[in-house]
Amino acid sequence: MSQTVDVLILGAGAAGLMCAIEAGKRGRSVLVIDHARRPAEKIRISGGGRCNFTNIHCSPVNFLSANPRFAVSALKRYTPADFLKLVESHRIAWHEKTLGQLFCDDRSQAIIDLLLGEAERARVRFSLATAVSDISKPDDRFLVETSTGPCRATSLVIATGGPSIPKIGATGFGYDVARRFGLKVISPRPALVPLTFDEALRDRTKHLAGISVDAVVSHGKTRFREGLLFTHRGLSGPSVLQISSYWQPGDTITVNLSPDENVLDRLKVVRKEQPRQDLRTALADLLPKRLAQFVAELHGLGGRLADQSDKALAKAADAIARWIVKPVGSEGYRTAEVTLGGIDTDELSSKTMETRRVSGLYFIGEVVDVTGHLGGYNFQWAWASGHAAGQFA
C-alpha cells in the first residue's frame, strides 16, 4: 500500500521515538518504521532492565566525537532535567544509583510505555516488522520502498542506531544510507565493551573470573575510577567499559588496583612493624587473596619484608598501582553497549540534525558520530538529538 507522510522516521528506538513525538506535536503527519517486531528493544534491556535513562551531570565532556563541540547545542536545548520532568509527569518512580545516573525503580518498560503513550497523543503511526529495501529522492520528496509498500515523505529521519548487539536487530543500515547519499562516515567500532587478553594472560587470569575491585583505569590522560571485573577472557566492569571507548588495538592501559592506598608507604610501614611477614601476605591485605597471588606471581614478588629493599617494595607497589596491561582485542559488537564513529558531524547541522547536502534528510541518535560515556549519557544524546530534529523535520 502506497502512502505519503510529512515525516518518515526509520528506527523506533530512543532517538526515533523522541523525534516522532516532537514532530507529531507540531502537527506533522509522522510514520515510524522499524524492522523489529517490538519498538525500543535497547531501552528494554538497558541498565540491567531498569534503564539508566539520563545522567544529571551530563555535559559535553562526557561525549566522544571527531567534533566535540557538535553535541553542545542539542544537549543544551534538551537537558536531563527536561527528560526527568517527562518521567515524573508519567509518575515513573526513579532513583539516583551513583555518579548522577538515574534509573527506573522498576522495569525499563515504563520508559517505553511513556514514549509510546506520548507518541499516541501526538498521532504518530507505526509500521513494525517492516523491512526497507530502497531509499531514493527522485524529486523534492523521499521515496522509501518497504516490505509493506512504498512511502513518500518530505522529511526522512534516520534513527537506526549502530551495529552493537546484532542479535536484537542492530544494524549498520544508517551508514549505508549515508553512503548512498554521498555523506562521510567515520569508521564505526565497538565501545563500552569488555577487553580481552591474549591466550597466555587469559590462562593465567582465568581463575580470577568473577573477582571485582574498585580501580582506576587509565589510557593516556583519560582515567576512570569505577569497578573492574575479571572475566574468563579479560577485563570488564564500568571502569574498563569506559576506557574501551578510548583504547585502540596495540595500546596499553594502566590499572591501579588499590586507588585508596599509597601502596609503597603502606608496605614500608608493614616492613617496619612486621619484618618477618612475607611480601605476599602484605599484598593479600591490599587485594582479594587470589588477585594478590596472581600479582605476586606475575611480577616474581615474594620473600620476607625485612629482606626487601626500597626498590623491591617500589616494584611491588607498581605491580598493584601501575599494572600495565595490553589487551589484544574487545568482545566486539556482540556485547558492546554502543558504537563509536558514525555519520560525520561535518555533514549535519548541530541545530537541526539535517544534512547540509541533502535537504530533508536527518540523522539522530547513535548512528551519528557522538558517543557518550557509560552512565545514561547515550540515552541523553538520543533524547536531545531526537528532540532537536523533531522541531524541524
Among 5, 8, 9, 14, binds ligand FDA (CB under 6 A): 14
| Helix, strand, or coil (residue 356) | coil
The residue sitting closest to ligand FDA, measured at its beta carbon, is 13
CB closer to ligand FDA out of 160 and 308: 160
Distance in Å, CB of 133 to ligand FDA, minimum: 10
Longest dimension (CA), the chain: 85
CB closer to ligand FDA out of 171 and 222: 171
Pick out residues in 77-136 that bind ligand FDA (CB under 6 A): 132
35 touches ligand FDA by CB under 6 A: yes
Question: Based on the number of CB atoms within 10 Å of its own CB, is 299 exposed (0-12), middle (13-18) or buried (19 or more)?
Answer: middle
- In 10 A of CB 337, how many CB atoms? 20
CB closer to ligand FDA out of 33 and 388: 33
Whose cell is 509510546? That residue is 116
CB closer to ligand FDA out of 363 and 392: 363
| Helix, strand, or coil (residue 353) | coil
DSSP H or E segment with residue 362: strand 361-363
Cβ-contact 175, 367 below 8 angstroms: yes
CB closer to ligand FDA out of 294 and 379: 379
CB closer to ligand FDA out of 15 and 296: 15
Q: Residue 352 has which C-alpha cell?
A: 537541526
Distances in Å between the Cα of 106 and the Cα atoms of 24, 38, 194, 267 are 28, 20, 27, 46
Among 15, 104, 111, 183, binds ligand FDA (CB under 6 A): 15
Q: Residue 112 has which C-alpha cell?
A: 517505553
237 touches ligand FDA by CB under 6 A: no
47 touches ligand FDA by CB under 6 A: yes
Distance in Å, CB of 94 to ligand FDA, minimum: 12
**Binding residues with ligand FDA: total (CB under 6 A):** 37
Pick out residues in 52-81 that bind ligand FDA (CB under 6 A): 52
How far, in Å, CA of 294 to CA of 156, rounded?
A: 55
190 touches ligand FDA by CB under 6 A: no
Instruction: Please spell the DSSP secondary structure of 136-154, one letter per residue.
Output: E-SSSSEEEEETTEEEEEE
CB closer to ligand FDA out of 316 and 374: 374
| Residue of 182, 213, 376 whose CA lies nearest to 295 | 213
Distances in Å between the Cα of 92 and the Cα atoms of 104, 315, 332, 390 are 7, 52, 34, 24
- Radius of gyration of the chain from its Cα atoms, rounded to whole angstroms: 25
Per CB under 6 A, which region of 6-14, 65-73, 248-256, 321-329 contacts ligand FDA?
A: 6-14
Tell me, residue by residue from 160 to 179, as one string, x for binding to ligand FDA by CB under 6 A and - for no binding. Answer: xx--xx---xxx-x------
| Residue of 33, 17, 37 whose CA lies nearest to 118 | 17
Among 20, 159, 213, 270, binds ligand FDA (CB under 6 A): 159
CB closer to ligand FDA out of 28 and 50: 50
Pick out residues in 322-351 that bind ligand FDA (CB under 6 A): 337-338
365 touches ligand FDA by CB under 6 A: yes
How far, in Å, CA of 377 to CA of 373, rounded?
A: 6
Cβ-contact 155, 7 below 8 angstroms: yes
Per CB under 6 A, which region of 9-17, 135-143, 224-232, 286-294 contacts ligand FDA?
A: 9-17
- Which residues of this chain interact with ligand FDA, rule CB under 6 A? 10-16, 33-36, 41-42, 45-47, 51-52, 132, 159-161, 164-165, 169-171, 173, 337-338, 365-366, 376-379, 382
